């Protein structure tokens, strides 16, 4: 391989955004850049930008340029950077329906460089309607076994590899094992009367319909009615004003949960601050109806905090290894098929109120020793199956091999565009 650095153009959530898509993209980019063999230009989308000026990171300088874009970019922007930046690989990640415009210029891109898609899909049945999109890629990486199974069924001819999400286990760890960390966690709990001497549930998710943010508040009240309204606190780290969500503060007022039973963490926080919240919690909750992966669940387990999850999508792969459990997995009470013009069908796994309340009570009633042992086993599960070093090395290998196998520009191989023939 030549000494010339491999240039990657990435399209995803802004890589410094604390979303699952943004975080994983940042992990991938950082791993590539640390080798000294890559350069990256990122189109960072999925948020409203106060400033559209390209930026650099202090650590990587000119090797990593981040360009804020609306949505996930558009055809003209991709054309611009294809012509001016001349990347060797196009990497993109999130739900395929957000890239309808990109699939329509497949030939234009792949004539010159390969396309690699880090695919996010939440549930079954296998989305046969995605096949034209899957075929538009030189390589698909999949975030979960559910996603991998879907791609293999829908489009077995495309090259695919299962690369599950990971977390930085040095940041997301049990802080109470160290004196200073134990002090930080203890003070975080005791300084607030709403959390002092309370059992703490933690919810870290987007305030959106399928995440069941409002439903959780209603069901948490049912739990409090059972154990006492002064026994537990629910911390919800989310945007309470998300236009796709529910008026969460109104719900707490409606239900009379105004005495610290529900606390909202509204501001963006660093990974280190987020780790403190996981460590404060006795248990995390994710009862989303469908979840491609659910990164917060993995972050929680990495901090040795057990979980309550809906047995759907990638969540079911994290709560158990098939033999041991690292929290409580709740089987869906019903499986409804929903759909739209862009996603004709997908299964929504719905939980039962009583089952969720019972799961909360089970974690609440568990001895501290058993709950801590469950958390320790959860971290071991993370280190074994979602290892951060393995994740990073996998992506370095994939990008290197992709470049060697398919080339770019003058060395482009393994792609032949459609050509019109005379008749």
Report the alpha-carbon distance of residue 137 to residue 106 in Å, rounded.
8
Residue 42 predicted with pLDDT over 90: yes
And the tokens for 407? 């080339």
Work out the burial of residue 301: count CB atoms within 10 Å of its CB; fewer than 13 is exposed, 13-18 middle, 19 or more buried. Answer: buried
Residue 2 predicted with pLDDT over 60: no
Residue 417 predicted with pLDDT over 80: no
Residues 200, 151 within the same domain: no
**Cis amide leading into 183 (omega within 30):** no
Residue 359: pLDDT band with limits 50, 70, 90 = very high
Residue 423: pLDDT band with limits 50, 70, 90 = low
| Per-residue pLDDT tens digits for 224-279 | 999 999 999 999 999 898 888 899 999 999 999 999 999 999 888 888 999 999 99
Count: domains in the chain: 2
From residue 167, give the alpha-carbon distance in Å to each of 31, 123, 185, 379, 387: 13, 22, 20, 11, 8
Averaged pLDDT, 284-313 = 94
Residues 215, 358 within the same domain: yes
> Domain for residue 80, yes or no?
yes
State the residue range of the domain holding 107: 6-166+387-411
Averaged pLDDT, 317-346 = 94
Residues 80, 12 within the same domain: yes
Question: What is the bridge-based pairing of β-strands 346-350 and 334-338?
Answer: antiparallel
| Per-residue pLDDT tens digits for 103-115 | 999 999 999 999 9
Residues 137, 251 within the same domain: no
Q: Is-contact 406 187, C-beta < 8 A?
A: no
**pLDDT of res. 171:** 94
Residues 221, 313 within the same domain: yes
Residues 221, 236 within the same domain: yes
**pLDDT of res. 242:** 86
Work out the burial of residue 170: count CB atoms within 10 Å of its CB; fewer than 13 is exposed, 13-18 middle, 19 or more buried. Answer: exposed
> Domain for residue 16, yes or no?
yes
| Per-residue pLDDT tens digits for 62-101 | 999 999 898 889 999 999 999 999 999 999 998 899 999 9
> Domain for residue 421, yes or no?
no
Averaged pLDDT, 280-308 = 95
Residue 299: pLDDT band with limits 50, 70, 90 = very high
Report the alpha-carbon distance of residue 289 to residue 349 in Å, rounded.
5
And the tokens for 364? 């609440």
Report the alpha-carbon distance of residue 118 to residue 12 in Å, rounded.
10
> Domain for residue 417, yes or no?
no
> Domain for residue 1, yes or no?
no
Report the alpha-carbon distance of residue 7 to residue 59 in Å, rounded.
18
List the Cα angle 290/295/298 in 5-degree steps: 115
Residues 159, 195 within the same domain: no
Q: Is-contact 175 182, C-beta < 8 A?
A: yes
- Element holding 181 (H helix, E strand): helix 179-190
| Per-residue pLDDT tens digits for 186-233 | 999 998 888 999 999 999 998 988 899 999 999 999 999 999 999 999
**pLDDT of res. 353:** 97
Residues 277, 210 within the same domain: yes
> Domain for residue 194, yes or no?
yes
Residues 204, 92 within the same domain: no
Burial 53-87 (b: 16+ CB within 10 A, else e): eeeebeebeebbbbbbbeebbeeeebeebbeeeeb
Q: Is-contact 329 355, C-beta < 8 A?
A: no
Three-state DSSP state, 116: strand
CA atoms within 13 A on the CB side of 270: 3
Q: At what angle do helices 179-190 and 271-280 cross, to 10 degrees?
A: 70
Residue 1: pLDDT band with limits 50, 70, 90 = very low
Q: Is-contact 168 271, C-beta < 8 A?
A: yes
**pLDDT of res. 209:** 87
Averaged pLDDT, 35-64 = 89
Report the alpha-carbon distance of residue 387 to residue 395 in Å, rounded.
13
From residue 402, give the alpha-carbon distance in Å to each of 87, 116, 264, 334, 413: 13, 9, 44, 42, 11
Task: State the CATH number of the domain containing residue 159.
Answer: 3.40.50.2000
Three-state DSSP state, 93: strand
Residues 196, 282 within the same domain: yes
Residues 190, 285 within the same domain: yes
Residue 414 predicted with pLDDT over 90: no
Report the alpha-carbon distance of residue 74 to residue 82 in Å, rounded.
12
Question: What is the bridge-based pairing of β-strands 6-13 and 38-45?
Answer: parallel
Give the residues across from 309 on adjacent strands.
Answer: 286, 329
**pLDDT of res. 268:** 84
Nearest to 95, CA basis, from 72, 76, 111: 72
What does the H/E/C string look like for 223-262? Answer: HHHHHCCCCEEEEEECCCCCCCCCCHHHHHHHCCCCCCCE
Residue 409: pLDDT band with limits 50, 70, 90 = very high
Residue 419: pLDDT band with limits 50, 70, 90 = low
From residue 377, give the alpha-carbon distance in Å to each of 176, 185, 279, 373: 16, 21, 15, 6
Question: Which residues have C-beta within 8 Å of that of residue 395, sequence separation ≥ 6?
Answer: 28, 31, 32, 163
> Domain for residue 422, yes or no?
no
Residues 11, 136 within the same domain: yes
> Domain for residue 283, yes or no?
yes
| Per-residue pLDDT tens digits for 116-159 | 999 989 999 999 999 999 999 999 999 999 999 999 999 999 99
Give the residues across from 64 on adjacent strands.
Answer: 40
Report the alpha-carbon distance of residue 382 to residue 390 in Å, rounded.
11
């Amino acid at each position: 391989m030549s000494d010339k650095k491999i240039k990657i153009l990435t399209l995803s959530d802004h890589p410094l955004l604390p979303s699952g898509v943004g975080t994983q993209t940042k992990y991938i980019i950082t791993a590539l850049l640390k080798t000294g063999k890559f350069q990256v230009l990122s189109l960072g989308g999925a948020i409203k930008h106060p400033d559209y000026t390209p930026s650099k990171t202090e650590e990587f300088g000119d090797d990593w340029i981040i360009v804020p874009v609306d949505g996930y970019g558009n055809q003209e922007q991709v054309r611009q950077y294809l012509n001016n930046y001349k990347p060797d690989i196009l990497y993109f990640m999130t739900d395929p329906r957000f890239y309808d415009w990109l699939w329509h210029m497949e030939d234009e891109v792949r004539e010159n460089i390969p396309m690699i898609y880090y695919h996010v899909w939440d549930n079954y049945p296998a989305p046969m309607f995605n096949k034209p999109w899957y075929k538009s890629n030189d390589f698909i990486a999949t975030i979960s076994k559910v996603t991998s199974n879907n791609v293999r069924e829908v489009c077995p001819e495309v090259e695919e590899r299962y690369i599950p999400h990971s977390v930085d286990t040095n940041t997301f760890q049990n802080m109470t094992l160290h004196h200073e960390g134990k002090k930080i966690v203890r003070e975080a709990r005791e300084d607030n009367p709403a959390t002092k001497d309370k059992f703490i549930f933690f919810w870290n998710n987007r305030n959106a319909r399928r995440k069941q943010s409002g439903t959780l508040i209603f069901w948490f009240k049912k739990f409090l009615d059972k154990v006492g309204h002064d026994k537990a606190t629910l911390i919800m780290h989310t945007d309470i004003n998300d236009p796709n969500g529910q008026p969460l503060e109104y719900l707490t007022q409606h239900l009379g949960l105004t005495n610290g039973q529900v606390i909202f963490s509204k501001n963006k926080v660093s990974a280190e601050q987020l780790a403190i919240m996981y460590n404060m919690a006795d248990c995390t909750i994710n009862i989303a109806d469908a979840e491609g992966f659910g990164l917060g669940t993995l972050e929680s387990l990495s901090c040795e905090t057990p979980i309550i999850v809906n047995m759907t999508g990638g969540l079911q792969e994290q709560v158990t290894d098939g033999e041991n459990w690292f929290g409580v997995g709740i089987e869906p009470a019903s499986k409804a098929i929903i759909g739209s013009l862009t996603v004709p069908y997908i299964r929504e796994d719905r939980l039962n109120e009583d089952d969720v309340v019972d799961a909360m009570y089970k974690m609440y009633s568990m001895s501290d020793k058993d709950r801590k042992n469950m958390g320790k086993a959860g971290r071991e599960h993370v280190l074994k199956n979602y290892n951060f070093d393995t994740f990073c090395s996998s992506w370095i290998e994939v990008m290197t091999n992709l470049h060697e196998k398919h080339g770019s520009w003058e060395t482009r191989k393994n792609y032949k565009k459609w050509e019109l023939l005379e008749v």
